Structure 1
Amino acid sequence: MVMDQRKVRETLDAVFARQDMTEVCKRRDLGGIIRILGKYGVTQGQIASLTGIAQGRISEYKTGKRIPTAKSTFEAIADGLGMPAHSRRALGLSPSGGTDGADGARSNGGEFQISTDTFDLQLLAEAVGKRGDALKRRELLSMIARVGATTSLAQNEVWERLSYALTKPSAIDEAIVREMEARSAGFHRLEEIMSASSIFKGLAAHLREVATILNGTTPDPKDELRRRLIVVAGESSVLAGWIASDLGSATTARNFYATAERGAKEVDDSSIIACTYAYRSYIPSAKGSHGRARALLGSALELLPPSMSPGTASWLAARHAEESAALGDRETALRSWAQAEEAFSITDPEEDRVWTRFLDQDRFDSFRIATYSKVGKLTEAEELAHAVIARLPEVDRKRAAIILGDIATAHIVQGSVDEAAKLAREGLRAVRETESAIWLPRFEVIAEPLRRWRTQPAVRAFLEELAMTKRQFASSPR
């Protein structure tokens, strides 16, 4: 006789209180969970109905024909069956099920976090990379929200192909290389809106897989697939270095940058080396060493023929202009800015390097604001600042932290102390929400000239929030 829903729930509660069920949960043995439930009358059909997982798939889990690994699968089972906290913890899940959104994403003032495993992140990055720049930001956020509910369906097919390449890397083919290229592009897109801690493990796992495949191949200048994989390794390594810096691990960042440069030299790809210099330039810049930052950017510009990557050339020249302006070198700043504008005018994101996708009009204009505010073009900087703020999407919090810092600096130069403090406080809030500790020193620099007006309410509020943010980052494990 089939149990009614009330009886099913009572049975589930009783079975999950059993010690043998706790033991199989600790082993993450989903087949064992299904078998014990079946022993007490809970059918595979009922499990499928409660969890949303196809009954055929439930049967495969029970017999061991299919072994689940995705965290999203365990979340679906735990949520659907109403597992108690101790069972969820035994499975390695948070004790309280559910999320703020129906699809598994949490929103924190526009910053999206996902509760998922590294394989989910890799599949998400691959899907995002395959869509390219045609993917709108709203669609990207929707994909992030759905990742936990959908990636397990595609996992086995992709994993079987990748596993074969990992065990027999000499047999790599076009499909595997394209998947790795798409992942690299996707991780660069995800970095724009996700915190460093959210994507680092997935990116590191992706790099390990690429390295394993490469280690099994024979160096051959004529092997185009191998060359493309080395480029993937370089592009992914520069991003990993940047994220490691954001997480506060300078040594790890240097190691990733060194790996990227080694790969770039092997395939004669100077764009990758130029990118490492650009990322590295932010570290001395944040500490006020603008001369060191400009030297790195100058070296990068010398390495990079503009025709090789107009997007990279535009970014490097804009950064060079920004650092020159910070050094008070107006002539060089304006000359570099003209170079940046020329390269930006011919940039095609679809055809350019993956790391240049962040450089849209808003981000480019933020470089202009930072440069103009320091070379005396205050009116232009102010007008542009208002335009950027007006069109900046609410969800774009990581970018908001950078742009708000630039605009606050422009207001300080103009003597608009209250406005500068309000904008800096909003930017600081975005830094916390996105866990972007790498931008915190920028707000410490902004604080210095404001301290003389510490008695003004807006300034005092910003300084207090800055102190609180520094304590928060200092106490959190990064």
Structure 2
Amino acid sequence: MTMDQAHIREVLTGVFARQDLEEVCKRRDVGGVIRILNKYGITQGQIAGLTGIAQGRISEYKTGKRFATAKSTFESIADGLGMPAHLRRSLGLAPGGSDDARRVGDGLQIPTDTFDLQLLAEAIGKRGEALKRRELLRMVAQLGATTTLAQSEAWEKISFALTKPSALDEAIVREMEARSAGFHRLEEMLPANAIFKGLAAHLREVGTILNGTTSDPKDDLRRRLMVVASESSVLAGWIASDLGSPPTARNFYDTAEKAAREANDLGIIACAYGYRSYIPSSKANHGRARALLASALDLLPKSASPGTTSWLAARHAEESAALGDKENAYRSWAEAQEAFEIADPDEDRVWTRFLDQDRFDAFRIATFSQIGQLSEAEEVARAVISRLPEVDRKRAGIILGDIAMAHIAHGSANEAARAAREGLAVVRETESVIWLPRFEILAKALERWRVQQPVRLFLEDIIMTKRQFSASRQ
């Protein structure tokens, strides 16, 4: 007897609650999904009709003649079947479906139009304070109603500045400063590729306006706009790293340094070195990473913001710990702690406003777990994860990776694999390619325990995740 659509949806709802379906989704085994659906009466033809995938291809997936690797295939399965957020995450997808907006977390849709993103970033930057999830939802909801008018007004101002460089005024510079600050805020909450186009368009506008002016040490408006260019380029470099393109990241960091030198802002150059240190660190080249951080700390003027000093010193401690240099790790951590105690994220430079107590504790976890204070590191880690908001999933992935490293140091392979697997799921969900090498290092360390089920499942997940990211870049 043929099922009607209502009955199909009822069956799917029941199947979606099953643990075995979640397990095959975590393995990104489309064939396994199809076999479970068939078991409960959903035919291959019905699956094809719901997902838009040819029935012959559905059959190949079921029998194992073909394996799904493309992100578009997983999206077709999840969107067509109407999978809930937890199964979408298991497949390595964003919690919501694909449409004209990017869904991030339950109910949060971020526009993908470049102007809308610029407008949202500018509005966030003008607030001048941290943004909570509820407030971001409200701002996104209001965006559609104001876009047309705001786009007209903004384009008139920018167009005037482009055609008449002498028209560069305080209002234009303030808007660009707010937009740059807003993009730094958005980076903390959204996957990299959700905001990169908007940031790139912002940089093009800033660059074009700067090209219409001449270098003049007495021109404060140009100097401030040059700071905007360098701060935005630093962020673009970080996002390029997050998207898995170190060469592009290095180009942006070089641009940021050149602009910062004209603006005579050594703090931004130090920031660029700090962000740049993550590239060798992800390849376990901790010596090179620490050298970059040492250069960054040397560059900082005495008047540097405490937040920047605290961040760079904490990173230096982290890399020193990775090198087994306990003396320098303790010394740098003491410097980081002293600066953090007087830092105020809301009053700091845009690139260190992320450094709240949770993020600072994440550095503590990474540092102390590597210098032998594992009990303290794990205690702090549990406390941080328990208070993380839903939108801050990137940070949870990093912390879980650090916990896994600590468990390996303890010799607890199964506990390490469980933490690593949970962290890897977050990496897939947030599409944070930059952290994948950390989990690959974990996989190598756990390889000798592969006969144990938790370890084997993690090793399968790492292979699947690498395929996902490889397919998404094609």
For the superposition of Structure 1 and Structure 2, which TM-score range results when normalised by the shorter chain?
0.7 to 0.9
Indicate the residue corresponding to 1:225 in structure 2: 221
Distance between the aligned counterparts of 1:323 and 1:166, measured in 2? 44
On the 8 A contact 1:111/1:398 being kept in 2, the answer is: no
- Deviation by residue 1:79-138 (Cα, 9 ceiling, x = unmatched): xxxxxxxxxxxxxxxxxxxx969x975535569663431111110100010112243243
The structure 2 residue matched to 1:440, chosen from 436, 443, 453, is: 436
Shift of 1:178: 0.4
- Deviation by residue 1:170-227 (Cα, 9 ceiling, x = unmatched): 2111111000000000000111121211111111111111111111112211111111
AA partner of residue 171 (structure 2): A
- Deviation by residue 1:398-453 (Cα, 9 ceiling, x = unmatched): 22221221222222222332222222111111111111111100111122221222
Q: Are positions 1:365 and 2:361 aligned together?
A: yes
Indicate the residue corresponding to 1:78 in structure 2: none
Indicate the residue corresponding to 2:271 in structure 1: 275
Distance between the aligned counterparts of 1:140 and 1:115, measured in 2? 12
Indicate the residue corresponding to 2:173 in structure 1: 177
- Count of equivalent residues: 379
On the 8 A contact 2:96/2:106 being kept in 1, the answer is: no
AA partner of residue 126 (structure 1): E
Q: Are positions 1:429 and 2:387 aligned together?
A: no
The structure 2 residue matched to 1:375, chosen from 371, 380, 383, is: 371
Residue 442 of structure 2 aligns to a residue whose secondary structure is helix
Range moving further from structure 2, 458-467 or 403-412: 403-412
Indicate the residue corresponding to 1:384 in structure 2: 380
Indicate the residue corresponding to 1:168 in structure 2: 164
Range moving further from structure 2, 133-142 or 251-260: 133-142
The structure 2 residue matched to 1:332, chosen from 325, 328, 334, is: 328
Indicate the residue corresponding to 1:26 in structure 2: none
Distance between the aligned counterparts of 1:244 and 1:384, measured in 2? 30
Shift of 1:249: 2.4
Indicate the residue corresponding to 2:119 in structure 1: 123
**Quick one: structure 1 residues 152 and 456, their matched pair in 2 at CA, closer, same or farther if it must change by over 3 Å?**
farther
Indicate the residue corresponding to 1:22 in structure 2: none
Tell me: higher relative CO, structure 1 or 2? Use CA pairs within 8 A at least 6 residues apart.
2
Shift of 1:141: 4.1
**Quick one: structure 1 residues 306 and 413, their matched pair in 2 at CA, closer, same or farther if it must change by over 3 Å?**
farther
**Quick one: structure 1 residues 105 and 315, their matched pair in 2 at CA, closer, same or farther if it must change by over 3 Å?**
same
AA partner of residue 430 (structure 2): T
**Quick one: structure 1 residues 462 and 141, their matched pair in 2 at CA, closer, same or farther if it must change by over 3 Å?**
farther
User: RMSD of the TM alignment (CA)?
Assistant: 2.0
Q: Are positions 1:393 and 2:389 aligned together?
A: yes
Counterparts in 2 of 1:42-441, with a 5 A limit?
Answer: 105-107=101-103, 109=105, 114-144=110-140, 146-441=142-437
Distance between the aligned counterparts of 2:329 and 2:141, measured in 1? 42
**Quick one: structure 1 residues 454 and 126, their matched pair in 2 at CA, closer, same or farther if it must change by over 3 Å?**
same
Residue 337 of structure 2 aligns to a residue whose secondary structure is helix
**Quick one: structure 1 residues 261 and 422, their matched pair in 2 at CA, closer, same or farther if it must change by over 3 Å?**
same
Distance between the aligned counterparts of 2:145 and 2:398, measured in 1? 32
Indicate the residue corresponding to 2:472 in structure 1: 476
Distance between the aligned counterparts of 1:458 and 1:448, measured in 2? 14
Residue 248 of structure 1 aligns to a residue whose secondary structure is coil
AA partner of residue 135 (structure 1): L
Distance between the aligned counterparts of 1:287 and 1:303, measured in 2? 25
AA partner of residue 373 (structure 1): S
Percent of aligned pairs with the same amino acid: 75
AA partner of residue 120 (structure 1): D
Shift of 1:354: 0.4
Distance between the aligned counterparts of 1:100 and 1:440, measured in 2? 23
Range moving further from structure 2, 418-427 or 230-239: 418-427
Gaps in structure 1 of 5+ consecutive residues: 1-98
On the 8 A contact 1:257/1:276 being kept in 2, the answer is: yes
On the 8 A contact 1:401/1:430 being kept in 2, the answer is: yes
AA partner of residue 246 (structure 2): A
Shift of 1:145: 5.2
Distance between the aligned counterparts of 1:456 and 1:367, measured in 2? 30
On the 8 A contact 1:104/1:148 being kept in 2, the answer is: no
Distance between the aligned counterparts of 1:376 and 1:116, measured in 2? 45
Residue 128 of structure 2 aligns to a residue whose secondary structure is helix
Range moving further from structure 2, 278-287 or 108-117: 108-117
Residue 192 of structure 1 aligns to a residue whose secondary structure is helix
Distance between the aligned counterparts of 1:163 and 1:254, measured in 2? 31
On the 8 A contact 1:317/1:339 being kept in 2, the answer is: yes
Shift of 1:243: 1.1
TM-score (norm 2): 0.76
On the 8 A contact 2:294/2:316 being kept in 1, the answer is: yes
On the 8 A contact 2:242/2:432 being kept in 1, the answer is: yes
Distance between the aligned counterparts of 1:153 and 1:416, measured in 2? 59
On the 8 A contact 1:363/1:399 being kept in 2, the answer is: yes
AA partner of residue 418 (structure 2): K
The structure with the larger Rg is 1
Residue 133 of structure 1 aligns to a residue whose secondary structure is coil
Distance between the aligned counterparts of 1:113 and 1:409, measured in 2? 34
Residue 390 of structure 2 aligns to a residue whose secondary structure is coil
The structure 1 residue matched to 2:460, chosen from 439, 453, 464, is: 464
On the 8 A contact 2:101/2:109 being kept in 1, the answer is: yes
Indicate the residue corresponding to 1:48 in structure 2: none
Distance between the aligned counterparts of 2:104 and 2:406, measured in 1? 28
**Quick one: structure 1 residues 118 and 364, their matched pair in 2 at CA, closer, same or farther if it must change by over 3 Å?**
same
On the 8 A contact 2:449/2:455 being kept in 1, the answer is: yes
**Quick one: structure 1 residues 456 and 288, their matched pair in 2 at CA, closer, same or farther if it must change by over 3 Å?**
same
Range moving further from structure 2, 155-164 or 177-186: 155-164
Range moving further from structure 2, 320-329 or 400-409: 400-409
Distance between the aligned counterparts of 1:100 and 1:197, measured in 2? 16
AA partner of residue 281 (structure 1): S
Distance between the aligned counterparts of 1:433 and 1:113, measured in 2? 15
Distance between the aligned counterparts of 1:100 and 1:448, measured in 2? 33
